[in-house]
Amino acid sequence: MRAVVQRCRAARVSVAGRQIAEIGHGLCAFVAVGRGDDHADAQYLADKLIGLRVFAGPGSDARMTASVGDVCGAILVVPQFTLYGDVRHGLRPAFTEAAPPEQGRELLDVLGAVLSTRGIIPAQGVFGADMRVEVINDGPVTILLDSRRLF
């Protein structure tokens, strides 16, 4: 699984002109599922999102020492299969490494369930929908996560 994670002051998702999810400060995670990903990948990503230390800790010295849970933040999960777009050959992305929709939907549900059991009930976009996402970045801080390989 892949994620582009942005520390944010606020984020929201709309579908067909109607707002469906919103958070205040926390993390906005654009998440994609790849072929071959399984429950272990969802667990890995959930652990990373929960533990990612990208917030200022006690003492406000602006160093990144606190996690989303430490600062009572929220997580917005936005399904985004285009993170598996491959443009190494040409300019039109190929999505052969993205998981089929059924697998993607299932593992995003698993990710949400794992986050919930860890105490953070994520706000979520709609899998397969044409979404409008608004993010007010904080920093900006953007982190790339991948359960299969390092960047």
pLDDT of residue 60: 61
Cis peptide before 140 (omega within 30 of 0): yes
Domain extent for 86: 2-146
The pTM for the full model equals 0.94
Q: Is residue 63 part of a domain?
A: yes
Strands 2-15 and 26-32: antiparallel
- CATH number for the domain including 12? 3.50.80.10
Tell me, yes or no, whether 111 lies in a domain. Answer: yes
The mean predicted confidence, pLDDT, of the chain is 95
The pLDDT tens digits for 26-42 are 999 999 999 999 999 99
Whether 151 is covered by a domain: the verdict is: no
Mean pLDDT of 30-59: 95
Question: Where would I find the H helices in the chain?
Answer: 39-51, 101-117
Q: Is residue 41 part of a domain?
A: yes
| DSSP-derived 3-state class of residue 113 | helix
- Let me know if residue 59 belongs to a domain: yes
- What string of DSSP letters covers 25-64? SEEEEEEE-BTT--HHHHHHHHHHHHH---EE-TT--S-E
pLDDT in tens, 85-133: 999 999 999 999 999 999 999 999 999 999 999 999 999 999 999 999 9
Give the per-residue pLDDT at 57.
83
d(CA 38, CA 89): 28
Task: Count, in order, helices (H) and strands (E) of the chain.
Answer: 2, 8
40 falls within a domain: yes
Would you place residue 151 in the very low, low, confident or very high pLDDT band (cuts 50, 70, 90)?
A: very low
- 6 within a domain of the structure (yes/no): yes
* Structural domain total, the chain: 1
Q: How far apart are CA 122 and CA 146, in angstroms?
A: 19
Q: Residue 91 domain-assigned?
A: yes
Question: Which residue's entry shows tokens 């996690």?
Answer: 67
